[in-house]
Amino acid sequence: MTKTFDHGGGVRSVQVPIPDNPLGHTLVYVVDTDRGPVLVDTGWDDPASWDTLTAGLAGCGTAAEEVYGVVVTHHHPDHHGLSARVREASGAWVALHAADAAIVRRARESRPERWFSYMAAKLTAAGAPEEHVAPLRAPRARTLPGLSPALPDREIVPGELLDLPGRRLRAIWTPGHTPGHVCLHLEEEHPARLPGHGRLFSGDHLLPGITPHIGLYEDPDDATVTDPLGDYLDSLERIGRLAPAEVLPAHQHAFTDAPGRVRVLLDHHESRLSNLLALLAEPLTPWRLAERMEWNRPWADIPYGSRTIAVSEAESHLRRLVKLGRAEPVPGSDPVAYTAM
């Protein structure tokens, strides 16, 4: 049965399932405007997910054909996946931040072989064992996820109001989880008059009980050394200062006390960085560091794809430590190992 919820003030949500994923579902928000509904995110591109979304829209008293626009918080397939189908059904515009639009464009234009070769080289440089890298070199038919999401036709510009006639929805750039992640601030009094400043569609930036993944989003053609964890922590502090009355996240459930949740996440990452420094008393490659980090299950139980994600997260934390002058690469090490300073 399709689950919908009325958050009041012309905002509803639909739980759109994510196939074979412990997150369970994406909360797609349906925002009433003077020109028809605008969706915040769309859910995973899957027939069952599409059926759930359309049933949910009907439960909200509207239909996919009536959607005026789609605002995508970030490019991940559980958020952007169904944007193309919504646009085909309605002619709606689709808006995404330029940094994530570039990732979508690159994924659509790149040959899968090039991306797998790049990933194999990255993992080798991180110290991954050959048995983990070998499948990326296998000569077999392979496809990349995320090739079908819509190329956006509008750009989300941080600080500007979006095209929601009769509403005030302002974009806040919150990089970290992805380079172009945005939160969306509904600058209207809370329908239940809760204290605070409006409501915040937080995407994956701020969730009530999950710490978002902070990994690396690299462009094979760009040698810039990014600091996604630093970006995320800065973004968190901005949202904490905003102090919205209520947060409407893309997963789990709505919640209040955004500043309190921000403090928990800031403390979590500071504690994690301190724990990693203790591990770096001996030189470790990113792979070896990931093996020793605390995850939601033992390393031996983490599946193949999730290990790659874990190594990416280990690297993002290493970059933060290096930038803070608390760790450094060991000269001459190959693959590169890091040690605490």
What confidence tens digit (pLDDT) does each residue in 101-154 have? 998 988 787 777 777 888 898 999 999 999 999 988 876 555 554 456 789 999
Contact yes or no for 287/129 (Cβ under 8 A): yes
CA distances from 115 to 119, 272, 305 (A): 6, 30, 15
- 97: its two tokens: 């931040």
* pLDDT surpassing 90 at residue 302: yes
Share of the chain above pLDDT 70, in %: 96
Least confident of 44-58, 61-75, 129-143, 220-234: 129-143
3-class secondary structure, 37: coil
At the top level of CATH, the class of 3-104+145-264 is alpha beta
3-state SS track over 7-36: CCCCEEEEEEECCCCCCCEEEEEEECCECE
3-class secondary structure, 277: helix
> Cβ contacts of residue 258 below 8 Å, gap of 6+?
196, 200, 206, 239, 240, 242, 243, 244, 247
User: pTM score, two decimals?
Assistant: 0.94
Give residue 146's pLDDT.
Answer: 47
DSSP 8-state code for residue 217: -
To the nearest 10 degrees (0 to 180), the angle between helices 228-242 and 258-279 is 160
203 closest CA partner among 173, 175, 183? 183
Pairing of strands 4-6, 11-17: antiparallel
* C-alpha torsion angle, residues 112, 113, 119, 124 (rounded to 10): 170
Domain positions in the chain are 3-104+145-264, 278-340
What confidence tens digit (pLDDT) does each residue in 191-245 have? 999 999 999 999 999 999 999 999 887 676 777 788 999 999 999 999 999 999 9
174 closest CA partner among 183, 186, 164, 165? 183
